[in-house]
Each structure stands twice: as C-alpha cells, then as structure tokens.
Amino acid sequence: MNPEHRQGVSMAKKHVYAVVDPASGKLVKEYPTATDETVDAALDAAANAYARWSRQTSVEQRAQLLHAVATLHSERSQQLAEIIHREMGKPVDEAVAEVEFSASIYRYYAENAEKFLTDEPIELLDGEGTAFVRR
C-alpha cells in the first residue's frame, strides 16, 4: 500500500462524473469529483511517493516493471478493449489495437531504458574539462 495514501485524501460525493455507454446511453459508473485541494493533495502524495520509490529502484528494475505492464496489457487486451468500447464507443477491434499499441510503447521504453538513462557527455565550448548530463 502506498504510504502516502494512508494520510487520507477524501472526496465528498457532492458532484459526480458519469460514464455513459455511448452506444446504449446507459450509465456505466459514477465517480465522485474532487476539489482543487483534493487534487493538489493527491498530486503531492504521488510526487512524494515517486521521489522515495525512484531512489530505491534501479533502471533494470524499472525496465522489468515496464515489461510486466506490457505483458499484462497484451494478456488482457480483450478485457481492456471491452472497457474502452463501453466507455468511449470505439469498435472493439480498434480498441484491441490501441491496447496492443500501448503495450508496444511500454516494451519500447523497457528495452531502451538503459540507453535512455545513461549519462551523456557534453562537449564544452572552450574544450577544457568534462561535463555530463546525469540521468
């Protein structure tokens, strides 16, 4: 469980956002809306959690996580496509393609993580010394 979540970010159900199936007009689900303060608190909690997580994980671990996400997208492409179809009215075959495309993006970044996050030397204008972009 995310430790930031325990701090409690409450959302009063004063207003709701309704997801409606565009094909049938039927209500799929209602979600509570959030105040600016609630959104700010959630973003702060996420930023704090990310800062802690990023210090504790290597590039290799992050790449493995992205591979796992890609695999789950591929394994569940039909289920995810049905959700896209129900919520946005996109034809299921197009939604499956969208999910698979998303999986390919995760795979791309997983396979290139080391290259993208390697320190990059910078050529100095006066030619003396060394500098790097640390990633």
- Token pair, residue 32, equals 């509570």
Who's near 125: CB < 8 A, 6+ residues apart?
Answer: none
pLDDT digits (tens, 9 = 90+) for 19-46: 898 888 899 899 999 999 999 999 999 9
What is the extent of the structural domain holding 48? Answer: 1-56
- Token pair, residue 10, equals 């409450």
Look over the chain and give the mean of its residue pLDDT values, rounded to a whole number.
Answer: 87
For residue 14, the model assigns a pLDDT of 65
Give yes or no for residue 8 having a pLDDT over 70: no
Residues 48 and 81 both lie in one domain: no
Residues 52 and 75 both lie in one domain: no
Residues 75 and 44 both lie in one domain: no
Q: pTM score > 0.75 for this model?
A: no
For residue 135, the model assigns a pLDDT of 63
Contact criterion met (CB below 8 Å) for 31 and 15: no
More confident site: 14 or 34 = 34
